[in-house]
A = this chain, B = another copy of it.
Amino acid sequence: MTRMTRRAFGRTALTGGAATLAAPALAQTQPEYVWRMTSSFPRALDTIFGTSEHFRDRIAELTEGRMKIEIFAPGEIVGGLQALDAATEGTVEMAHTGSYYFVGKNEAFAFGTSVPFGLNTRQQNAWLYQGGGIDICNDFYKGYNLIGLPFGNTGAQMGGWFRREINTVDDLKGLKLRVGGFAGRVFARLGAVPQQIAGGDVYPALERGTIDAAEWVGPYDDEKLGFAKVAPYYYAPGWWEGSTTIHLFINLDAWNALPPFFKTAIATAAAEADLWTITKYDALNPDAITRLIQQGAQLRWFSEEIMGACYEATQAVMTETAEANAEFRKIYDQWKAFQAKENFWFQVAEVPFERFVYQRSRDKG
């Protein structure tokens, strides 16, 4: 499963005390580990797909060529949504995906990525890295023979592209919206009709009116899809993804067989990739939102009525799920206590600082 190719002479031989003949320089570049990473994300998504390339290069540098990672786009080995299974089964050592794609297997997969009205990006990172989040999630992922590391964040996403304005909860009735996972369940509770449509089919479906709305990520990624032409109302915020963590999943047997050095290199490079991704989104989105507006996107915000109804529906879905699913409940209870404390603190210094600065920024135009 771990396609290991020990070098003819490696570190082990060197420390073993035996005389060794130095190999030619070429041998230096023979990796000890060649690992395959299958992605749920298309190459065209240069932000998230770019994270895996950044990480691959960093691992090559940090291991001085001793570990080589080969990246595969969806369909090259398995389909995008088979990435998790492929890592579980050891078809590949690594999967680049979002845990929340797999809430159909078990709703507990939601927390690692995002739950509706959940943590913001910094709170999510605080929970994952310091608040026990990575550990409690990995305790759950263990059941799938996986270890998961945070591997990028998009920040708060947009609510998506709508063919018509929606103002009241009544406007949601019968609304055919391309949205998945937990958010789909919440929308369904309010009478909307969540749709699962493959990426390439969304534009024609929106154009023909087969669906009324579709959500994707945020300005920079959305711009490439051209939805502004066929569904100009661009809603904010994506209350179901106030922060979205992407994952690096690693087959647990492959991980456990790694020497500590390689584990450290992977964990460090994954954390750096996590930071790299959010800084990329935060640097690219501002120009993209401006361009989208120039291209005809009309910014709208979900009304208080709609936000309130979605919030209440979310609480109902979370509570019901916790009652039915002990693995979900275990993470939810720990997560919820963390969120309450974070929300109090962020209102003390962060919010008053930002509110004032944004106000002055608006005044200056």
Interface residues of A (CB under 8 A from B): 11, 13-22, 24-25, 28, 58, 61-62, 64, 117-118, 120-123, 125-131, 155-158, 218-219, 236-239, 242, 260-261, 264-265, 268-269, 271-272, 274-276, 278-280, 282-287, 289-290, 299, 301-302, 307, 311, 339-354, 356-358, 360-362, 364
A307 to chain B, nearest CB (A): 5
**Also in contact, A125 and B282, with CB within 8 A (given A261-B61, A341-B290, A350-B155):** yes
| A-B CB contact pairs (8 Å), 21 listed | A14-B14, A15-B22, A15-B28, A58-B264, A58-B268, A64-B261, A125-B279, A128-B279, A131-B283, A156-B350, A156-B354, A236-B348, A236-B353, A238-B353, A242-B354, A271-B276, A274-B275, A286-B344, A340-B364, A343-B361, A347-B362
* B22 x A13 contact (CB < 8 A): yes
Contact residues in B for A131 (Cβ distance below 8 Å): 283
* B287 x A341 contact (CB < 8 A): yes
Contact residues in B for A285 (Cβ distance below 8 Å): 345
Contact residues in B for A357 (Cβ distance below 8 Å): 117-118, 120, 242, 343
**Also in contact, A349 and B126, with CB within 8 A (given A268-B58, A271-B275, A275-B274):** no
Contact residues in B for A361 (Cβ distance below 8 Å): 339-340, 343-344
Complex: A351 Cα to B237 Cα, angstroms? 9
- Nearest B residue to A157, CB-CB: B349
* B122 x A121 contact (CB < 8 A): yes
Task: Choose from B128, B155, B351 the contact partner of A122 (Cβ within 8 Å).
Answer: B155
Known interface pairs A271-B271, A340-B361; 4 further A-B residue pairs with C-beta atoms within 8 A, sorted by A's residue number: A61-B264, A62-B268, A117-B360, A237-B348
Contact residues in B for A261 (Cβ distance below 8 Å): 61-62, 64
